[in-house]
Amino acid sequence: MVSSSLPRLLLTASACLISGAAAFAPRSSSTTSVVARSSSTSSALVADGRTPGARTARTELSMAGFGGGGGATKKKGKGGSKLPKLKAKTQWDRYKELKTVPSVTVGVRVRGEEEWMTVGRVRSADDGLAGAAVARQRALIAEHSKRLFMVRIPPNAALEWGYVASSDDEGEGDGDDNETTSWVVVDKSAGDDAPDGIEKKIGFEGISDKASGFYCYYHEGRVVER
């Protein structure tokens, strides 16, 4: 009886061995080719100096900056040469250095409107450079106008720049007395023909803005009028 059941036990054991070996068999060639393609793609990215997440990181970094001006291309002057980007503090210091030169009131208005808003004053080493001083420093003037007139100047509003040619009043003013003030509109191209290095011969001082601290004079820790 034992001898008759022995062949059956051998067959059963063989079947178990065959099924176990199948469980550890290599995957199909199609699966291997998918892995190979994935590996080759990663290698190509690395060989190109990139990693799978580099494009996303680079996009986030390129969007960083100071509100639309951080990555902006510098404007071009004569002969297509790039003009240096001006800084508010530097031009304010230059304005104060030109203290023996008369100042000219400057301002902006929203394109299509009549009313001007006084933003500050400019000085230039040459009286004939008033228009160029406004045009060359227009970005600083526009930035400060949005601090002073947050409600009156809508976001992304198209602005026009100008300076006061004559006025019956002395001092800063607030841009509301247009009956006694003659404004000259300054085109952006007014500074294109200015001499090289003009930024060192002009300056801009905005109206003091206590909320932001821009263009404020301090004495013993308190803002004072000048």
User: pLDDT tens for residues 101-150?
Assistant: 999 999 999 999 999 999 999 999 987 789 999 999 999 999 999 999 99
The gap from C-alpha 203 to its chain's centroid, in whole angstroms, comes to 22
What confidence score (pLDDT) does residue 225 get? 76
Answer yes or no: are the C-beta atoms of 150 and 93 closer than 8 Å: no
Q: Give yes or no for residue 46 having a pLDDT over 70.
A: no
Answer yes or no: are the C-beta atoms of 214 and 141 closer than 8 Å: no
Confidence class for position 220, pLDDT limits 50, 70, 90: confident
What confidence score (pLDDT) does residue 78 get? 55
33 vs 27: CA distance, rounded Å: 10
Q: Which residues, other chains included, contact 184 with Cβ-Cβ below 8 Å and sequence gap of 6+?
A: 131, 162, 163, 164, 165
Which tokens go with 111? 């394109």
Confidence class for position 81, pLDDT limits 50, 70, 90: low
147 vs 153: CA distance, rounded Å: 9
What average pLDDT does this structure show over 191-200?
86
What confidence score (pLDDT) does residue 70 get? 36
Answer yes or no: are the C-beta atoms of 206 and 144 closer than 8 Å: yes
What confidence score (pLDDT) does residue 221 get? 81
Is 0.85 topped by the overall pTM? no
Sheet-wide strand order for 181-186: 181-186, 159-167, 104-110, 117-124, 202-206
The gap from C-alpha 121 to its chain's centroid, in whole angstroms, comes to 25
Q: Give yes or no for residue 5 having a pLDDT over 90.
A: no
Which tokens go with 135? 């045009």
Which tokens go with 185? 């509109």
